[in-house]
Chains A and B, each alone.
Chain A
């Protein structure tokens, strides 16, 4: 009799509700360990950048689909822009173009003169980088980082490390490149630093990004010659940002004689958070490689005097 009851019980199906396989705790431990390994691999090694690129590339159609409603709204807004507004904008732009054309005429002569003087002095002639126009498709989704995603990627010959500017000054740098998009980190992001110099007295420094859309300039002595309103421009020492681009204006100085360093805060000249378009500048190595294809011989020649000096 008992056997029969047992058999009956065994034949009864257990409800799906109670079927779990591995316990929830063991699954949790396994997946937590997996996440920690992933984080370590992603932070220390570069294996995962290709996976990320492939994923973002594959996601492109979905992203485009998600973009459609926003684009429609933006386009219809443009379509219904009032006549007055357009006339006004046209007037301002014409005026700006006129002012710029006057400056441009002077720029050409000055540039020629500068290059001539530099060649007389035996200095290097500065290279003027070419720029690619890109549209911002959206801001970064990680609230901890100050990044934007633009619609130009490795398919458009964008490389990580390229400088990004707008009409007013330096915006940041390309940090990650995906097939159809790339990630631009703003100069106000904590992870970005940029070599600058004070326009007034050529003082060199490094500006670090800071929260609240400002730049911090640490490691300058308390008695440093810097004033509120001083303009900071790129020094060009890093070889990424061309020299002389506007970066920021000094807005706050705290020169406490008790401390070793002055606390200098500046705000970026570029409108870091009000943009739809920006310019991506070419990398210097890329330009040099394009200029002189047989670089092997020149490299050897250049290497020799260096060896002698050292």
Chain B
């Protein structure tokens, strides 16, 4: 591994995710919109925790809150908790198989959604339909795309070996 990912790549990809997040979605497709920022954040949390830590997760969450116009701190808190769980299992990921890592990431996405749901319910919102959890499913598909693209940029040798 000669060319390690640098901060520029981390923040560049997060900025790209912000752009995707801000992309104007209208109509029925909005139900399936993945949480772009969370997926990219989780990728870096699991691949390069020395560059992207709980603080970055909080910042990303706050940006999502500002962009969505929701109560400031809701996504920040959810992402911080998710980042904590992700980081506490991060060292063990080496032992996991591909599918196990995928399942782990999926459960992290669901955890983030669930935390936001609890915070929203506490602040007086109505219980949404089960469509609310679609972004976790589409998020895992987006994760595969991100893994392929960012993996090719940040770890060119290891992906060639694969």
Flag if B68 contacts A141 (CB, 8 Å).
yes
Asked if B147 lies at the interface with its beta carbon under 8 angstroms from chain A, I say no
User: Which of B5-13, B104-112, B123-131 lies on the face that meets chain A?
Assistant: B123-131
Residue among A25, A32, A56 making CB contact with B66, cutoff 8 Å: A56
Q: Which residues in A have their C-beta under 8 angstroms from that of B71?
A: 39, 42-43
Write the nearest CB–CB distance from A74 to chain B, whole angstroms.
10
Q: Which residues in B have their C-beta under 8 angstroms from that of A143?
A: 30-31, 128, 132
Task: Give the distance in Å from the alpha carbon of A279 to the alpha carbon of B55 in the complex.
Answer: 43
Q: Which residues in A have their C-beta under 8 angstroms from that of B24?
A: 63, 66-67, 70, 137-138
8 A Cβ contacts from A91-141 to B = 136-141
Flag if B83 contacts A62 (CB, 8 Å).
no
Asked if B138 lies at the interface with its beta carbon under 8 angstroms from chain A, I say no
Contacts A24-B87, A27-B53 given; indicate if A142 touches B70 (C-beta within 8 A): yes
Asked if B77 lies at the interface with its beta carbon under 8 angstroms from chain A, I say yes
Flag if A141 contacts B80 (CB, 8 Å).
no
Flag if A144 contacts B69 (CB, 8 Å).
no
Asked if B14 lies at the interface with its beta carbon under 8 angstroms from chain A, I say no
Write the nearest CB–CB distance from A32 to chain B, whole angstroms.
5
Flag if B123 contacts A141 (CB, 8 Å).
no
Q: Which residues in A have their C-beta under 8 angstroms from that of B74?
A: 35, 39
Flag if A28 contacts B81 (CB, 8 Å).
yes
Q: Which residues in A have their C-beta under 8 angstroms from that of B23?
A: 66-67, 69-70
- Secondary structure at the B interface, as helix, strand, loop or mixed, is helix
| Nearest-neighbor residue (CB-CB) of A137 within chain B | B24
On chain A, the number of residues with a Cβ less than 8 Å from chain B's Cβ atoms is 46
Task: Give the distance in Å from the alpha carbon of A66 to the alpha carbon of B80 in the complex.
Answer: 27
Task: Give the distance in Å from the alpha carbon of A209 to the alpha carbon of B18 in the complex.
Answer: 31
Task: Give the distance in Å from the alpha carbon of A35 to the alpha carbon of B71 in the complex.
Answer: 10
Interface string of B122-156 (1 = CB under 8 A from A): 01011010001000000000000000000000000
Task: Give the distance in Å from the alpha carbon of A65 to the alpha carbon of B19 in the complex.
Answer: 8
Q: Which residues in B have their C-beta under 8 angstroms from that of A5?
A: none
Centre residue among B22, B62, B70, B73 by max chain A CB count within 10 A: B73
Contacts A28-B83, A144-B70 given; indicate if A138 touches B58 (C-beta within 8 A): no
8 A Cβ contacts from B87-116 to A = 87-88
Contacts A52-B66, A55-B66 given; indicate if A31 touches B55 (C-beta within 8 A): yes
8 A Cβ contacts from A263-279 to B = none
Flag if A24 contacts B53 (CB, 8 Å).
yes
Task: Give the distance in Å from the alpha carbon of A27 to the alpha carbon of B45 in the complex.
Answer: 14
Asked if A36 lies at the interface with its beta carbon under 8 angstroms from chain B, I say yes
Q: Which residues in B have their C-beta under 8 angstroms from that of A39?
A: 71-74, 77, 119, 123
Q: Which residues in B have their C-beta under 8 angstroms from that of A67?
A: 23-24
Flag if B80 contacts A183 (CB, 8 Å).
no
Q: Which residues in A have their C-beta under 8 angstroms from that of B25?
A: 138-139, 141
Asked if A38 lies at the interface with its beta carbon under 8 angstroms from chain B, I say yes
Residue among A24, A32, A69, A142 making CB contact with B69, cutoff 8 Å: A142
Q: Which residues in A have their C-beta under 8 angstroms from that of B83?
A: 28
* Top 6 closest pairs, chain A to chain B, by CB: A138-B24, A38-B73, A35-B77, A39-B73, A28-B84, A141-B68
16 A-B pairs with CB atoms under 8 Å apart are: A19-B50, A24-B87, A35-B80, A39-B74, A43-B71, A52-B66, A55-B66, A62-B19, A63-B22, A66-B19, A69-B23, A139-B26, A140-B69, A141-B68, A143-B132, A144-B125
Binding site for B on A (CB under 8 A): 16-17, 19, 24-25, 27-28, 31-32, 34-39, 41-43, 48, 51-52, 55-56, 59, 62-63, 65-67, 69-70, 136-145, 147, 176, 183, 190, 211
